[in-house]
Structure 1
Amino acid sequence: MSELTYKLCFYVPESHVEQVKNAVFAAGAGHIGNYDCCAFQVRGEGQFRPLDGSQPFLGQQGQVEVVAEYRVETIVTGAHLHAAISALRLAHPYEEPAIDLFRLEPLPE
């Protein structure tokens, strides 16, 4: 039985995309076969409104902020999952980074 594999997807402002990717890769994510630092990224716009009690990296409380962000997808095995997510959170500038995690099924032979 092969190890569980996950697709880790996160959204990061353009200013920090390389920093966050490098932290996630250093924690063991992004390996596919004989390749490392594997990822897909696409640029778009994210929006959010900081509420009372927040400490936003960008924007002001009560005001909707729209920012250029990248959606980054990479692969991570179960053995590196916690380290990769921890590294992502430490390197990410946002107080509450948006993170999606999908467990992948093995491809049919």
Structure 2
Amino acid sequence: MYKLAFFVPVGEAEPVKEAVFATGAGRIGDYEACCFQTRGLGQFRPLDGANPHIGHVGDLERVAELKVELVCRDDLIHDAVAALKAAHPYEEPAYEVWRLENI
């Protein structure tokens, strides 16, 4: 089992979550589309060569984002990350993957 966490602009979170859930990620027992969301403020500065979805090259940008956390079966994690990357509006989405122990 893995835990997947990603950061996404608030207004664009639902389609990204749905893409990840469509892979089978976010299932716990007899429940699907399970996740926890925390609202926060992300920041970044696009460098030369970037094609930012929000902001401009060289300018510091701050964006209201959600951190979305969910669990994912071992056999689905690569598909879940691929779906996240494909659906996310940023060219370089921030995400984390941790292996979980079953105790």
- TM-score tier, shorter chain, comes to over 0.9
- 2:96 is matched with 100
- Give 3-state SS (helix, strand or coil) of 1:53's partner: coil
Query: Aligned partners of 1:50 and 1:86: how far apart in 2?
Result: 23
Aligned counterpart in structure 2 of residue 55 of structure 1, from 38, 42, 51: 51
1:89 aligns with 2:67: no
- Give 3-state SS (helix, strand or coil) of 1:55's partner: coil
Q: Structure 2 regions of 5+ residues with no counterpart?
A: none
1:70 aligns with 2:66: yes
1:26 counterpart letter in structure 2 = A
Larger Rg: 1
Determine what percentage of the aligned residue pairs are the same residue: 54
- Give 3-state SS (helix, strand or coil) of 1:7's partner: strand
2:44 counterpart letter in structure 1 = F
Question: What's the TM-score, normalizing by structure 1?
Answer: 0.93
Q: Structure 1 regions of 5+ residues with no counterpart?
A: none
Tell me the number of residue pairs that the alignment of Structure 1 and Structure 2 aligns: 103
Deviation of 1:15 (Å): 1.5
Aligned counterpart in structure 2 of residue 27 of structure 1, from 11, 16, 23: 23
Moved over 6 A (4+): none
- Structural RMSD (CA): 0.5
Query: Aligned partners of 1:41 and 1:74: how far apart in 2?
Result: 9
